[in-house]
Structure 1
Amino acid sequence: MIIILAGIYTLRAGRAEMQAAWGSHPHRQRLLLVGIGAVAGFGSGLTGVGGPVLSVPLMVLSGFSPLTAIGVSQVIQIVGAASGTLGNLRYGSIDFGAAGLIIVFEIGGVFLGAHIAHIVDTHILKKFVGILCIIVGAVFLFRTIA
């Protein structure tokens, strides 16, 4: 539900510039980011969805720009993937063939997506993130209910 709300909030904000929460209070903003990280990490571990699925909407709801939230989520994804891989190596198994194939295309997709995100107008990117959050949130909600 938080993902849907983040999408609606992003679309309703329109063309107005969003201010990150507590931007003038760096200590409070760091605490907010620690909280977002904790919630995203816990939610990711509990549900299996990637940390960025939760951290991007939470950061957008907190007033960070979509481009900042997306950039931060890429770093979060690296750390989450590494810890998840170590956990699966210890307690489970990994299909390295499938992982290798996906990695090749994911890296290409990340480079292409980052390039597009930096050349597209910020307002269009904000709308895209808002719509994507609503769609992803609706799919998660539907899967949970059905």
Structure 2
Amino acid sequence: MAARAQPGSAASSIPTEALIQPEELVRIVQSGKSAKPLILQVGSNVLYAQAHIPGCEYAGAGSTESGRQQLRKRVDALPRNQLIVLYCGCCPWSHCPNVNPAYQELRAMGFTKVWVLYIASNFGTDWVDKGYPIAKGG
């Protein structure tokens, strides 16, 4: 999980140890282990409908108050040690307006195991084009 956000970027305050690379998440999702993370897409609902990680849920755009409210509602009843993986993929990491607010929201709620999928360019380039599994529809 050693990817570093660019200084001054929207995602730069996410600690390096909270980042997970796409290939690592694929291994976790495809493993036979029963304890899978809750994967939440916190970007555009349009992008989610076009292609998303199988088994993930749309949780609202992290950059908007209504999106963060949707995120809070989705996770409120979960144990605070639940492993949650957030991702967006709308644009290059250094410009993403969604992942950091969603990450900060979950941390403020007391969640202790929050990872953020490091998508350097966008979901199409860093996930779909690499042949990783996708689902479509919303």
Q: Give yes or no for TM over 0.5.
A: no
- TM-score normalised according to structure 1 size: 0.31
* Structure number having the greater helix percentage: 1
Structure of greater relative contact order (alpha carbons < 8 Å, 6+ residues apart): 1
Higher strand proportion (structure 1 or 2)? 2
TM-score (norm 2): 0.32
Larger radius of gyration: 1
